[in-house]
């Protein structure tokens, strides 16, 4: 009997004992740095000459690990292995697959701080953000395991005298899972677990900036009893290995989380039917956001400022859900703006190993250059009222940055920056604020801060985002509580951590028997 799902509690690091445990975990992880990690295909460890070098974004000289890099030949080997393994795995007991996830969750929970410490190092995540990433990884395993148990016998449909009808779900085949670096543990583990627990075999290609945590997850799954060949670990270049597998005629589905640029490329390529291909590929594609917090005239303005600052600068704004634009009623604009600046200037930036730093680095040089480029654009488009500076001498650090009086059609208000930058703009009334909030091509998250019930109901109907929050920030969805995914160019709205998610990895089969 499986106990009811409840999300993993976050660690309270204000408690001295918890801080001490985390310090010990960081020491342990530090001793583990700089090792080599192989590919895993059919359970076999394969070492390649060429390596992906994962570095600590807070300290470029610190190597997290040297990870073997798959090429097209190895991707082909992995595909053949996954394809052959599917013949037996598709018939495996769903309860066995769910139990595997529950055991994996238990293993991670027992070593929770160790994983969190690794995320601090490899992802540059402050403790609180890293702890939430680990907790979310556990949640995905626990939640999808239970969802599979709910779905395993299908859904009740109607039968008639002497006609017995059955509707149930069967797996699809080989799935290519391509994950991003920002939720390096949770999204990588969640997308992989969902594809596997539904009876598919998997080729896991993690983000090149953060491949070591994916190897560690593979070790956990193996310890939990994962049979060889069910999940194959093939880090490699997105363009090279990614394109090859997306195009492959034996790929049955692609589960991608990442940028709009790569997501739309995969969507187009997966639509092409190649020689020998017997199906239309399924795509689960979750992309970026340009997320807005709307502040009404009748609102708790302290809550508004806190929500903007936390949602904009948590993990340096490197969340698809991050608040990168705030639309504020003109009557309260100055007051909110002043408080946003005060709160922003109080934030500390530095190596996230130090618990007192609120913000760590951005992930790499390319991200640093891109964000600093947007800060230059922001200086032309609005008034810089906080931050604006960066330092990439040791790690990639950028101060939390606020621009005021930006036209809502400006580039910094339309394009995903994916860094610690927020633009503020005014609206003359609530209706105009919602129109502005909807005026990007994305539709991922949004929040409304108001005490006006009619305005909340108006937003419920008209604010076009997949995850809409009232009187709170626009980040931090919890598995099983706020299913996550967006509209328009934010993706296919597959709702990770929600009751519909697993069904995207399966196909419905109707069987009708005459008695
Ligand atoms: N909607 C969501 O749930 C969600 C969650 C997290 C991140 N994101 C988005 O992800 C982006 C940040 O992550 P990122 O920088 O890792 O994104 P990215 O698109 O650069 O990379 C994502 C993954 O795609 C791979 N890739 C690159 N080129 C490829 C190709 N041609 N074919 C196949 N795979 C390829 C990368 O190696 C990586 O594993 C942001 O846009 C963010 O908003 C969205
Ligand atoms: N699910 C996360 C965002 C994931 C994307 O980066 C949140 O709700 O903040």
| Ligand 2 in reach of 321 Cβ (< 6 A) | yes
Q: Which of 114, 129, 136, 320 is an active site residue?
A: 320
Q: Is residue 160 within a helix (H) or strand (E), and if so which, with residue range?
A: none
The whole-angstrom separation of Cα 193 and Cα 299 is 41
Tell whether the model's pLDDT for residue 1 goes beyond 90: no
| Ligand 2 in reach of 183 Cβ (< 6 A) | yes
What does the block give as tokens for 215?
A: 């190897």
The dihedral through the CA atoms of 102, 41, 185, 213 has a sign that is positive
The whole-angstrom separation of Cα 260 and Cα 268 is 12
Q: What is the 256 CA–ligand 2 centroid distance (Å)?
A: 15
Tell whether the model's pLDDT for residue 233 goes beyond 90: yes
User: Which CATH fold topology does 18-154+162-287+493-509 show?
Assistant: Aldehyde Dehydrogenase; Chain A, domain 1 (3.40.605)
368: closest CA among 420, 329, 301, 321?
420
Q: Which residue's CA lies nearest to atom 44 of ligand 1? A: 287
Q: What pLDDT score does 280 carry?
A: 98
| Ligand 1 in reach of 185 Cβ (< 6 A) | no
Q: What is the mean pLDDT of residues 341-359?
A: 98
The whole-angstrom separation of Cα 134 and Cα 109 is 9
Which tens digits make up the pLDDT trace of 69-95? Answer: 999 999 999 999 999 999 999 999 999
Task: Enter the pTM of the model.
Answer: 0.98
What does the block give as tokens for 368?
A: 């640093």
Q: What is the 52 CA–ligand 1 centroid distance (Å)?
A: 17
| Ligand 1 in reach of 187 Cβ (< 6 A) | yes
Q: What pLDDT score does 505 carry?
A: 98
Residue in 186, 315, 317, 477 to alter for ligand 2 test, most ligand atoms within 8 A of Cβ: 477
Grouping H, G, I as helix, E, B as strand and the rest as coil, residue 390 is strand
Which tens digits make up the pLDDT trace of 406-448? Answer: 999 999 999 999 999 999 999 999 999 999 999 999 999 999 9
Reply yes or no on whether 320 is catalytic: yes
CATH code 3.40.605.10 region(s) in the chain: 18-154+162-287+493-509
Q: What is the 138 CA–ligand 2 centroid distance (Å)?
A: 15
| Ligand 1 in reach of 362 Cβ (< 6 A) | no
Q: What is the 153 CA–ligand 1 centroid distance (Å)?
A: 34
Which tens digits make up the pLDDT trace of 290-319? Answer: 999 999 999 999 999 999 999 999 999 999
Reply yes or no on whether 286 is catalytic: yes
Q: What is the 133 CA–ligand 2 centroid distance (Å)?
A: 10
| Ligand 1 in reach of 287 Cβ (< 6 A) | yes
CATH code 3.40.309.10 region(s) in the chain: 291-478
Percentage of the chain beyond pLDDT 90 is 100
According to CATH, the superfamily of the domain at 291-478 is Aldehyde Dehydrogenase; Chain A, domain 2 (3.40.309.10)
Grouping H, G, I as helix, E, B as strand and the rest as coil, residue 87 is helix
What does the block give as tokens for 161?
A: 């005298």
Average pLDDT, the chain: 98
Q: What is the mean pLDDT of residues 466-484?
A: 98
Residue in 10, 180, 263, 320 to alter for ligand 2 test, most ligand atoms within 8 A of Cβ: 320
Q: What pLDDT score does 273 carry?
A: 98
| Ligand 2 in reach of 476 Cβ (< 6 A) | yes
């Amino acid at each position: 009997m499986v106990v009811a799902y409840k999300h993993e509690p976050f660690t309270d690091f204000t408690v001295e004992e918890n801080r001490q445990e985390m310090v010990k975990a960081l020491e342990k992880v530090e001793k583990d740095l700089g090792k080599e990690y192989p590919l895993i295909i059919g359970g076999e460890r394969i070492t390649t000459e060429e390596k992906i070098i994962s570095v600590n974004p807070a300290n470029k000289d610190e190597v997290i690990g040297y990870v073997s890099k798959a090429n097209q030949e190895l991707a082909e080997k992995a595909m053949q292995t996954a394809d052959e393994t599917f013949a037996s795995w598709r018939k495996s007991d769903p309860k066995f697959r769910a139990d595997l996830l529950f055991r994996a969750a238990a293993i991670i929970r027992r070593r929770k701080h160790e994983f969190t410490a690794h995320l601090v190092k490899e992802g540059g995540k402050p403790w609180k953000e890293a702890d939430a990433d680990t907790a979310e990884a556990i949640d995905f395993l626990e939640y999808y395991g239970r969802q599979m148990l709910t779905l395993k016998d299908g859904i009740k449909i109607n039968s008639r005298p002497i006609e017995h009808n059955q509707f149930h779900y069967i797996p699809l085949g080989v799935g290519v899972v391509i994950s991003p670096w920002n939720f390096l543990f949770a999204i990588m583990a969640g997308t992989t677990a969902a594809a596997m627990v539904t009876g598919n075999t998997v080729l896991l290609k993690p983000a090149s900036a953060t491949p070591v945590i994916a190897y560690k997850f593979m070790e956990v799954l193996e310890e939990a009893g994962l049979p060889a060949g069910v999940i194959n670990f093939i880090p490699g270049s997105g363009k090279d290995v990614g394109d090859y597998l997306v195009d492959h005629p034996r790929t049955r589905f692609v589960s991608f989380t990442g940028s709009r640029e790569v997501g739309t490329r995969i969507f187009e390529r997966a639509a092409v039917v190649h020689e020998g291909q017997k199906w239309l590929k399924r795509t689960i594609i979750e992309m970026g956001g340009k997320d807005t917090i709307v502040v009404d005239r009748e609102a708790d303005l302290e809550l508004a400022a806190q929500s903007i600052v936390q949602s904009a600068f948590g993990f340096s704004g490197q969340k698809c859900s991050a608040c990168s634009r705030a639309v504020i009623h003109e009557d309260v604009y100055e007051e909110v703006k002043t408080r946003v600046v005060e709160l922003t200037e109080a934030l500390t930036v530095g190596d996230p190993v130090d618990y007192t730093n609120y913000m760590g680095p951005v992930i790499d040089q390319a991200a640093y250059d891109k964000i600093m480029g947007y800060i230059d654009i922001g200086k032309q488009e609005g008034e810089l009222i906080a931050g604006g500076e960066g330092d990439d001498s040791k790690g990639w650090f950028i101060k939390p940055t606020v621009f005021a009086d930006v036209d809502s059609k400006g580039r910094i208000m339309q394009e995903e920056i994916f860094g610690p930058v927020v633009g503020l703009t005014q609206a003359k009334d609530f209706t105009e604020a919602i129109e502005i909030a909807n005026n990007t091509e994305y539709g991922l998250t949004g929040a409304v801060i108001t005490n006006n019930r009619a305005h909340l109901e108006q937003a419920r109907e008209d604010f076009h985002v997949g995850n809409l929050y009232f009187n709170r920030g626009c980040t931090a969805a919890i598995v099983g509580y706020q299913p996550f995914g967006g509209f328009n160019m934010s993706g296919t709205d597959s709702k990770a951590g929600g009751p519909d998610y697993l069904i995207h990895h399966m196909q419905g089969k109707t069987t009708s028997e005459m008695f």
